[in-house]
Amino acid sequence: MRKRDGRVVAFEQARIVEAIAKAAAAVGEADRTPSADLATAVARALTAAALGQIPDVETIQDVVEHTLITHGHARVAKAYILYRDRRTRMREARAELMDSVERILAEANRENANVGNSPSAKMLQIASAASRQFYLARLIPDDLAQAHRSGDIHIHDLDFYGKTLTCVQIPLGRLLAHGFDTGHGYIRPPRRIASAAAQAAIMLQSSQNDMHGGQSFACFDRDLAPLADGASEFEIYQAMEALIYNLNSMHSRAGAQVPFSSLNLGCDTSPRGRLVTRCLLDAYERGLGRGEMPIFPNIIFRLKKGVNFDPQDPNYDLFQRAMQVAARRMNPTFAFMDAPFNRPYGEEVAYMGCRSRVIANRHGPAISSGRGNLSFTTLNLPRIAIKARGQLPQFLSGLEAMMNLAARQLHHRFEVQARLKARDMPFLMGQGLYLDSEQLKPEDPIAPVIRHGTLAIGFIGLAEALTCLTGAHHGQEPDAQRLGLEIVRRMRQLVDGFAETYDLNYTLLATPAEGLAGR
């Protein structure tokens, strides 16, 4: 027989016996005698059909299937076909992995702005490629894996599917007040603003190494204000400048990345809280050592009437300063605390730089600090519209089907994550960063804690989908605008239903699609 690599080797009938026996055992047939008889029939059929040619592996397997069916073993034949298909997919996955490794070594591909092309970055990309192939081939149910491969959905951070969670709002104030342990020794509470800023960078770095997504402080100005007492404005400015330098130079995350960091601020009206905000904005506008644009941190400036929105508000000057900095540096971004969906929570709502918003909670207090997004998966709206041939009823039907599939995939991922133990995330869970995680022992599963997190369904390409459905996008025609809003409302309704069905915090977001738009 001829093997797949082209080598010619002796045909071993015993291997056919073993393959048929395994297929029979899979359907509950333990007697191996028929397997030997069927293998003999396979050998005879191959000899009769060979006509002087050397049969290859695929030919032999075709004959095995045909023999099983013609001899009345349809159930065994089905099990054999499924086994053969699984082996084929495993071989294809190995081949795809080798192709991916070859591309990584040959190209300088920067999917994220903070991933370089260093040796450790290439090692990260190779490990990520291997992880993705493993999860698609071995862990994720076939229909969900195929939906990702085909582009119907996109499972974000697939390489971390069963390893960790996405992001968290770190409780900065508590860690500064009580100290923390990074695994190599205890760090006591700081007494000076410079030490506090340095520790804030260490917290972001340490938590980042336990997770694959963003790290954020929900109330940066309020939590740092007590440490600014007694410090001069120059000392506070230098502490903020050092923090920005650290967050753009600590290449400690996997692949020599810097932490994906975000700071929420703007609503602390105390003199020291205001000074922390102003000094951070001033340092950010100045940039790095030669004026370079800082990639991090993402700064989210909260806006609220009575605090900083109107000219008579105490922090209105900080809002004006934030807009000046944004005009030059495209950062901060602005979050409106008086928006209808934020107003019930006062100043509590915090965001990530990637636009994740975590607040409502089915299993505990509606707060941002100590919580984050667990995972998210994106729907390809233009693909759904194209498959519906531009027909709205078919589009809505396809949309609902994909939404249900995405919800099921996120629930599967949640169940995989829930089996992780607290010791798998020693800083995040071991130091009590995640809400209620201080109750966990190292060997405890994290399931009861991560119920506080969110599972997000994202969407991409609404404008293109509207163009496919109506001939215009939402910025061109009022009818397209109305339909776009209706589509988003329908997705929101479905997501609310998933939250009830699975009793988890399902959410909807417009996907920040850096590496997805080109799929």
Q: Could you give the number of structural domains in the chain?
A: 3
pLDDT score, position 124? 76
Query: With a cut of 50, which residues of the chain have pLDDT below it?
Result: 110
Say what the pLDDT of residue 255 is: 57
Q: How far is CA 388 from CA 220, 378, 392, in A?
A: 47, 18, 7
Residue 494 lies in a domain: yes
> 263 and 378: one domain?
no
| DSSP conformation letters of 357-380 | B----TTS---STT--EEEEEEEE
- 383 lies in the same domain as 271: no
pLDDT for 115 equals: 55
- Does residue 398 sit in the same domain as residue 333? no
* Domain end marker among 33, 50, 79: 79
Number of Cβ within 10 Å of residue 385's Cβ equals 26
Are 174 and 294 in the same domain?
yes
Residues 375, 455 contacting (CB under 8 angstroms): yes
Q: Do residues 289 and 203 share a domain?
A: yes
Burial of 264 (0-12, 13-18, 19+ CB in 10 A): buried
pLDDT tens per residue, range 323-338:
999 999 999 999 999 9
Spell 71-86 as b/e; 16+ CB within 10 A means b.
eebeebbbbbbeebee
The answer to whether position 21 is within a domain reads yes
> End of a domain among 345, 364, 399?
345
Specify whether 503 is located in the same domain as 411: yes
Cα radius of gyration rounded to whole Å, the chain: 28
For residue 507, give both structure tokens.
Answer: 């959410």
In this structure, the answer to whether residues 186 and 322 fall within a common structural domain is yes
Are 350 and 321 in contact by the 8 Å Cβ rule? The answer is: no
Q: What's the pLDDT at 514? A: 60
90-96 long-range Cβ contacts below 8 angstroms, 24+ apart: 90/137, 91/4, 93/133, 93/136, 93/137, 94/133, 96/133
Q: What is the pLDDT of residue 414?
A: 98
Q: Which amino acid is at 317?
A: D
- What pLDDT does 355 receive? 72
Contacts of 65 (CB under 8 A, 6+ apart): 77, 80, 81, 84
Residue 181: phi and psi, rounded to 5, are -125, 120
- b (16+ CB within 10 A) / e for 138-170: eebeeebbebbeeebbbbbbbbbbebbbbbbbb
Q: Identify whether residues 45 and 191 lie together within a single domain.
A: no
Domain enclosing residue 222, as ranges: 168-345
pLDDT for 515? 61
Could you tell me if 216 and 277 lie in one domain? Answer: yes
Residues 325 and 185 in one domain: yes
The C-alpha atoms of residue 101 and residue 85 are separated, in whole angstroms, by 24
| Strands 505-510 vs 298-303: parallel, antiparallel or unpaired | unpaired
CB 12 within 8 A of CB 39: no
**C-alpha span between 205 and 199 (Å, rounded):** 10
Would residue 63 count as lying in a domain? yes
323 and 243 within one domain: yes
pLDDT of residue 435: 97
Q: CA-CA distances (angstroms) from residue 50 to 1, 15, 44, 303, 518?
A: 10, 19, 10, 79, 48
**CA pseudo-torsion sign 352, 145, 459, 408:** negative
197 and 329 share one domain: yes
The pLDDT score that the predictor gives to residue 389 is: 94
- Domain assignment present for 398: yes
Structure confidence at residue 78 (pLDDT): 87
pLDDT of residue 117: 64
Whether residue 419 is contained in a domain is answered as yes
Tell me, what's the pLDDT at 442?
96
**Residue 33, C-beta contacts closer than 8 angstroms, at least 6 positions apart:** none
Question: With DSSP H G I counted as helix, E B as strand and the rest as coil, what are the percentages for the chain, rounded to 5?
Answer: 50, 10, 35
Pinpoint the alpha helices (H) of 287-391: 316-329, 381-387
**What does the block give as tokens for 264?**
């929420």
pLDDT at 93: 67
